[in-house]
Amino acid sequence: MRFRCPFLVLLFMHLGILYGAESATTHRFEAEILKFEAVDRRIPPPPRPILFVGSSSVRLWTNLPTSYLGRPVLNRGFGGSTLKDLLRYFNRVVVPYGPSVLVVYEGDNDLAEGQTPAGIAQDLALLLDRSESELPGTEVLLMTVKPSPLRLHLLEAQRDFNRRLGAMAAARRRVNVVDVASPLLNSLGEPDPRFFASDRLHLNADGYETWLKPVMLAIEDRLKH
Protein backbone atom coordinates (compact mmCIF):
# COMPACT_ATOMS: atom_id res chain seq x y z
CA MET A 1 0.00 0.00 0.00
CA ARG A 2 2.90 2.30 0.76
CA PHE A 3 4.11 1.96 -2.82
CA ARG A 4 0.75 2.95 -4.28
CA CYS A 5 0.16 6.05 -2.21
CA PRO A 6 2.71 8.27 -3.95
CA PHE A 7 1.28 7.22 -7.29
CA LEU A 8 -2.26 8.00 -6.16
CA VAL A 9 -1.20 11.34 -4.75
CA LEU A 10 0.44 12.27 -8.04
CA LEU A 11 -2.58 11.03 -9.98
CA PHE A 12 -5.03 13.11 -7.95
CA MET A 13 -2.75 16.15 -8.19
CA HIS A 14 -2.61 15.73 -11.96
CA LEU A 15 -6.38 15.41 -12.18
CA GLY A 16 -6.79 18.43 -9.96
CA ILE A 17 -4.53 20.50 -12.18
CA LEU A 18 -6.40 19.39 -15.29
CA TYR A 19 -9.79 20.02 -13.72
CA GLY A 20 -8.69 23.42 -12.45
CA ALA A 21 -7.43 24.43 -15.88
CA GLU A 22 -10.60 23.20 -17.57
CA SER A 23 -12.76 24.93 -14.99
CA ALA A 24 -10.92 28.22 -15.41
CA THR A 25 -11.27 28.02 -19.19
CA THR A 26 -14.88 26.88 -19.10
CA HIS A 27 -15.99 29.62 -16.75
CA ARG A 28 -13.74 32.49 -17.82
CA PHE A 29 -16.74 34.60 -18.85
CA GLU A 30 -19.06 33.59 -16.03
CA ALA A 31 -18.77 36.97 -14.29
CA GLU A 32 -19.82 38.82 -17.46
CA ILE A 33 -22.76 36.49 -18.05
CA LEU A 34 -23.90 36.96 -14.45
CA LYS A 35 -23.84 40.74 -14.98
CA PHE A 36 -26.12 40.38 -18.01
CA GLU A 37 -28.51 38.27 -15.95
CA ALA A 38 -28.47 40.78 -13.10
CA VAL A 39 -29.33 43.60 -15.52
CA ASP A 40 -32.19 41.52 -16.94
CA ARG A 41 -33.60 40.96 -13.45
CA ARG A 42 -33.56 44.70 -12.76
CA ILE A 43 -34.85 45.69 -16.18
CA PRO A 44 -36.73 42.86 -17.91
CA PRO A 45 -35.59 42.72 -21.55
CA PRO A 46 -38.12 43.65 -24.23
CA PRO A 47 -39.63 40.90 -26.38
CA ARG A 48 -38.14 40.02 -29.76
CA PRO A 49 -35.15 42.38 -29.72
CA ILE A 50 -32.43 42.68 -32.32
CA LEU A 51 -29.65 40.92 -30.40
CA PHE A 52 -25.93 41.47 -30.97
CA VAL A 53 -23.59 38.81 -29.59
CA GLY A 54 -19.90 38.10 -30.04
CA SER A 55 -16.48 39.18 -28.91
CA SER A 56 -15.06 42.57 -27.94
CA SER A 57 -15.81 44.10 -31.34
CA VAL A 58 -19.46 43.82 -30.31
CA ARG A 59 -18.94 44.56 -26.62
CA LEU A 60 -17.13 47.82 -27.42
CA TRP A 61 -19.81 48.96 -29.86
CA THR A 62 -21.27 51.17 -27.18
CA ASN A 63 -23.02 53.59 -29.52
CA LEU A 64 -25.22 50.97 -31.16
CA PRO A 65 -28.71 52.44 -31.59
CA THR A 66 -31.07 51.41 -28.81
CA SER A 67 -33.76 50.67 -31.38
CA TYR A 68 -34.08 50.17 -35.11
CA LEU A 69 -37.23 50.00 -37.20
CA GLY A 70 -39.25 50.17 -33.99
CA ARG A 71 -37.49 47.15 -32.45
CA PRO A 72 -35.24 47.30 -29.39
CA VAL A 73 -31.53 46.58 -29.87
CA LEU A 74 -29.56 44.67 -27.20
CA ASN A 75 -25.79 44.28 -26.98
CA ARG A 76 -24.65 41.09 -25.25
CA GLY A 77 -21.08 40.89 -26.50
CA PHE A 78 -18.47 39.55 -24.10
CA GLY A 79 -14.88 40.40 -24.87
CA GLY A 80 -12.35 37.79 -25.90
CA SER A 81 -15.00 35.22 -26.70
CA THR A 82 -14.87 32.57 -29.41
CA LEU A 83 -17.60 30.54 -31.05
CA LYS A 84 -17.04 27.79 -28.50
CA ASP A 85 -17.71 30.31 -25.72
CA LEU A 86 -20.86 31.53 -27.43
CA LEU A 87 -22.04 27.93 -27.78
CA ARG A 88 -21.33 27.33 -24.10
CA TYR A 89 -23.46 30.30 -23.04
CA PHE A 90 -26.04 30.10 -25.82
CA ASN A 91 -28.86 29.19 -23.43
CA ARG A 92 -28.06 32.22 -21.28
CA VAL A 93 -27.12 35.02 -23.69
CA VAL A 94 -29.27 34.15 -26.70
CA VAL A 95 -32.24 31.87 -26.01
CA PRO A 96 -33.85 33.88 -23.18
CA TYR A 97 -34.31 36.91 -25.44
CA GLY A 98 -36.06 35.15 -28.32
CA PRO A 99 -34.53 37.67 -30.75
CA SER A 100 -36.15 38.68 -33.98
CA VAL A 101 -32.66 39.00 -35.48
CA LEU A 102 -29.50 37.50 -34.03
CA VAL A 103 -26.35 39.36 -35.14
CA VAL A 104 -23.16 37.34 -34.57
CA TYR A 105 -19.54 38.45 -34.63
CA GLU A 106 -17.17 35.57 -33.86
CA GLY A 107 -14.16 33.96 -35.48
CA ASP A 108 -11.66 36.76 -34.92
CA ASN A 109 -10.28 35.41 -31.64
CA ASP A 110 -10.72 31.82 -32.79
CA LEU A 111 -8.24 32.39 -35.61
CA ALA A 112 -5.88 34.30 -33.31
CA GLU A 113 -5.86 31.29 -30.97
CA GLY A 114 -4.67 29.05 -33.81
CA GLN A 115 -7.92 27.42 -34.88
CA THR A 116 -8.39 26.69 -38.57
CA PRO A 117 -11.14 28.27 -40.68
CA ALA A 118 -12.58 24.79 -41.28
CA GLY A 119 -12.64 24.00 -37.57
CA ILE A 120 -14.28 27.30 -36.70
CA ALA A 121 -16.88 26.71 -39.41
CA GLN A 122 -17.81 23.46 -37.67
CA ASP A 123 -18.49 25.39 -34.46
CA LEU A 124 -20.54 27.89 -36.43
CA ALA A 125 -22.60 25.07 -37.95
CA LEU A 126 -23.43 23.90 -34.42
CA LEU A 127 -24.49 27.42 -33.49
CA LEU A 128 -26.74 27.70 -36.53
CA ASP A 129 -28.23 24.26 -35.85
CA ARG A 130 -29.10 25.34 -32.31
CA SER A 131 -30.59 28.59 -33.53
CA GLU A 132 -32.80 26.70 -36.00
CA SER A 133 -33.99 24.20 -33.39
CA GLU A 134 -34.32 26.46 -30.33
CA LEU A 135 -35.23 29.76 -32.03
CA PRO A 136 -37.11 28.74 -35.18
CA GLY A 137 -38.47 32.23 -35.85
CA THR A 138 -35.14 34.04 -35.52
CA GLU A 139 -33.27 35.49 -38.47
CA VAL A 140 -29.47 35.18 -38.19
CA LEU A 141 -26.99 37.72 -39.51
CA LEU A 142 -23.32 36.73 -39.59
CA MET A 143 -20.77 39.52 -39.62
CA THR A 144 -17.57 38.74 -41.49
CA VAL A 145 -14.34 38.74 -39.50
CA LYS A 146 -12.66 42.13 -39.73
CA PRO A 147 -9.06 42.60 -40.83
CA SER A 148 -6.86 44.55 -38.43
CA PRO A 149 -3.31 45.91 -38.49
CA LEU A 150 -2.37 43.81 -35.43
CA ARG A 151 -3.54 40.58 -37.06
CA LEU A 152 -2.36 41.26 -40.58
CA HIS A 153 -0.66 37.84 -40.60
CA LEU A 154 -4.14 36.27 -40.35
CA LEU A 155 -5.58 38.11 -43.35
CA GLU A 156 -5.69 35.06 -45.65
CA ALA A 157 -7.18 32.86 -42.92
CA GLN A 158 -9.79 35.55 -42.27
CA ARG A 159 -10.68 35.64 -45.95
CA ASP A 160 -10.95 31.84 -45.99
CA PHE A 161 -13.29 31.87 -43.02
CA ASN A 162 -15.37 34.70 -44.48
CA ARG A 163 -15.84 32.70 -47.68
CA ARG A 164 -17.06 29.80 -45.56
CA LEU A 165 -19.55 32.13 -43.88
CA GLY A 166 -21.02 32.95 -47.27
CA ALA A 167 -21.29 29.30 -48.26
CA MET A 168 -22.97 28.33 -44.99
CA ALA A 169 -25.45 31.19 -45.21
CA ALA A 170 -26.35 30.28 -48.79
CA ALA A 171 -27.27 26.77 -47.63
CA ARG A 172 -29.62 27.94 -44.86
CA ARG A 173 -32.95 29.67 -45.13
CA ARG A 174 -32.84 32.17 -42.27
CA VAL A 175 -29.14 33.06 -42.38
CA ASN A 176 -27.35 35.87 -44.18
CA VAL A 177 -23.92 37.47 -44.14
CA VAL A 178 -22.98 41.14 -43.92
CA ASP A 179 -19.55 42.15 -45.19
CA VAL A 180 -17.95 44.38 -42.56
CA ALA A 181 -14.41 43.48 -43.64
CA SER A 182 -14.16 45.14 -47.07
CA PRO A 183 -15.12 48.66 -45.88
CA LEU A 184 -12.09 48.64 -43.56
CA LEU A 185 -9.54 47.95 -46.31
CA ASN A 186 -7.35 50.50 -48.06
CA SER A 187 -6.49 50.60 -51.77
CA LEU A 188 -3.82 47.91 -51.21
CA GLY A 189 -6.37 45.50 -49.75
CA GLU A 190 -4.97 45.85 -46.24
CA PRO A 191 -6.69 47.14 -43.08
CA ASP A 192 -6.75 50.93 -43.05
CA PRO A 193 -5.20 52.21 -39.77
CA ARG A 194 -7.54 55.21 -39.67
CA PHE A 195 -10.42 52.91 -38.64
CA PHE A 196 -8.61 51.38 -35.67
CA ALA A 197 -7.88 52.29 -32.07
CA SER A 198 -4.34 52.64 -30.73
CA ASP A 199 -4.18 48.89 -29.98
CA ARG A 200 -4.39 48.29 -33.77
CA LEU A 201 -7.01 45.60 -33.16
CA HIS A 202 -10.29 47.20 -32.12
CA LEU A 203 -12.26 49.75 -34.07
CA ASN A 204 -12.35 53.44 -33.26
CA ALA A 205 -15.41 55.68 -33.71
CA ASP A 206 -14.79 55.98 -37.46
CA GLY A 207 -14.55 52.22 -37.77
CA TYR A 208 -17.88 51.66 -36.03
CA GLU A 209 -19.46 54.39 -38.13
CA THR A 210 -18.26 52.51 -41.20
CA TRP A 211 -19.93 49.34 -39.89
CA LEU A 212 -23.24 50.92 -38.94
CA LYS A 213 -24.90 51.40 -42.33
CA PRO A 214 -24.21 47.96 -43.87
CA VAL A 215 -25.18 46.18 -40.65
CA MET A 216 -28.44 48.09 -40.21
CA LEU A 217 -29.37 47.63 -43.86
CA ALA A 218 -28.72 43.90 -43.54
CA ILE A 219 -30.93 43.78 -40.43
CA GLU A 220 -33.66 45.61 -42.30
CA ASP A 221 -33.43 43.04 -45.09
CA ARG A 222 -33.68 40.18 -42.57
CA LEU A 223 -36.78 41.68 -40.97
CA LYS A 224 -38.57 41.59 -44.31
CA HIS A 225 -38.42 37.80 -44.39
Domains in the chain: ranges and CATH: 45-223 (3.40.50.1110)
Which residues neighbour 59 within 8 Å (Cβ) at sequence distance 6 or greater? 75, 77, 78, 79
Could you tell me if 105 and 148 are in contact, meaning their C-beta atoms sit under 8 angstroms apart? no
The per-residue pLDDT for 186 is: 97
Residues in the chain: 225
Those residues of the chain that have pLDDT short of 50 are: 1-25
Task: Check residue 149 and give its pLDDT.
Answer: 98
d(CA 207, CA 184): 7
pLDDT tens for each residue of 211-225: 999 999 999 999 987
69-115 pLDDT, tens digit each: 999 999 999 989 999 999 999 999 999 999 999 999 999 999 999 99
Check residue 191 and report its DSSP letter. Answer: B
User: Global pTM?
Assistant: 0.88
Cβ pair 100, 50 in contact under 8 A: yes
